[in-house]
């Protein structure tokens, strides 16, 4: 029963989220007390479902690009030929953590203009570090006996990487991706300050009109998405860890 309770809570949260995005007016009575007289309780300047999908797409694209670059760098620096590039690689992936996302947006807008592009750049840079560090950890802490056995069977370096090392390191790499996605889901809201279509639009509209219901809607949707996606990645990591024996 105790194990089933968290699953029921997640399913309930997911069902409520979908219902709110598809039929937000059903929740108007709950939010009406939070607004002033005659003010709308449900965001009415666009589709919440469309904004949510756009928000998720932005996070997915940025995280995918960050994953490709970060894992590629981790593979490079864990090979004998690329070990000397570790300090340079660490400096590159730390760029996103050095500058706040708002500063990255401010620097990117004059170069690429307003819209989704500066937001993608900020999220990409911000997501590199956790994926890189976890990928490097996963690839450098593999059981030496398994790696030596793969080498002893005559596998090439590419075969060892794709058939042994990456599958074994995948749970640890996924942990880094999970952290990156969670950070990006929250950070993407600031993209609306440079005309990107994210759930930040709802929050900004609420702040501008002093509408607490709008702010709450945008914040709660992002929070529930972050929790559900975090849990989904965690479950996948556990499954893969058991499968490769890295519990």
Domain membership flag for residue 154: yes
Residue 12 lies in a domain: no
Quote the domain boundaries for residue 101.
43-244
Instruction: Give the model confidence (pLDDT) of 13-23 as tens digits.
Output: 889 999 999 99
Instruction: Report yes or no on 232 lying in a domain.
Output: yes
Q: Is residue 78 part of a domain?
A: yes
Task: Give the pair of three-digit tokens for residue 231.
Answer: 């849990």
Question: Closest Cα partner for 172 from 74, 98, 69, 92?
Answer: 74
Structurally, how many domains does the chain consist of? 1
- Output the pLDDT for position 1: 44
Given this model, what pLDDT does residue 109 score? 87
Kindly report the pTM of this predicted structure: 0.89
Whether 2 maps to a domain, the answer reads no
Q: Which residues contact 155 (CB under 8 A, 6 or more apart)?
A: 163, 164
Question: Count of CB atoms within 10 A of residue 17's CB?
Answer: 17
The whole-number pLDDT of residue 240 equals 85
CATH classification at residue 223: 1.10.3720.10
Element holding 48 (H helix, E strand): helix 48-77
Which residues in the chain show pLDDT less than 50? 1-2
**Residue 28 located in a structural domain:** no
Strand ranges for the chain from DSSP E: none
In a domain, 185, yes or no: yes
pLDDT at 94: 87
Classify residue 60: in a domain, yes or no.
yes
Q: What is the pLDDT of residues 199-247, one digit of tens each?
A: 999 999 999 989 899 999 999 999 999 999 999 999 888 888 887 765 5
């Amino acid at each position: 029963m105790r194990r089933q309770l968290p699953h029921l809570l997640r399913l309930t949260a997911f069902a409520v989220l979908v219902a709110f995005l598809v039929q937000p007016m059903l929740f108007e009575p709950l939010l009406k007390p939070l607004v002033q007289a005659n003010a709308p309780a449900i965001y009415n300047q666009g589709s919440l479902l469309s904004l949510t999908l756009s928000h998720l797409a932005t996070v997915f694209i940025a995280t995918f690009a960050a994953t490709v670059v970060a894992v590629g760098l981790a593979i490079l620096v864990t090979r004998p030929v690329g070990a000397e590039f570790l300090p340079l690689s660490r400096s590159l992936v730390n760029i996103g953590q050095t500058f706040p996302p708002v500063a990255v947006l401010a620097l990117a807008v004059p170069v690429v203009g307003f819209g989704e592009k500066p937001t993608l750049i900020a999220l990409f840079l911000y997501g590199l570090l956790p994926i890189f560090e976890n990928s490097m950890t996963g690839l450098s802490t593999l059981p030496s006996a398994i790696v030596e056995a793969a080498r002893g069977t005559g596998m090439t370096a590419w075969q060892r990487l794709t058939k042994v090392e990456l599958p074994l390191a995948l749970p640890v790499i996924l942990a880094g991706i999970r952290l990156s996605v969670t950070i990006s889901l929250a950070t993407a809201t600031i993209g609306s300050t440079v005309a990107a279509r994210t759930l930040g639009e709802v929050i900004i509209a609420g702040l501008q009109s002093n509408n607490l219901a709008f702010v709450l809607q945008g914040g709660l949707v992002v929070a529930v998405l972050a929790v559900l996606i975090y849990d989904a990645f965690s479950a996948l990591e556990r499954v893969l860890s058991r499968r490769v024996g890295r519990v």
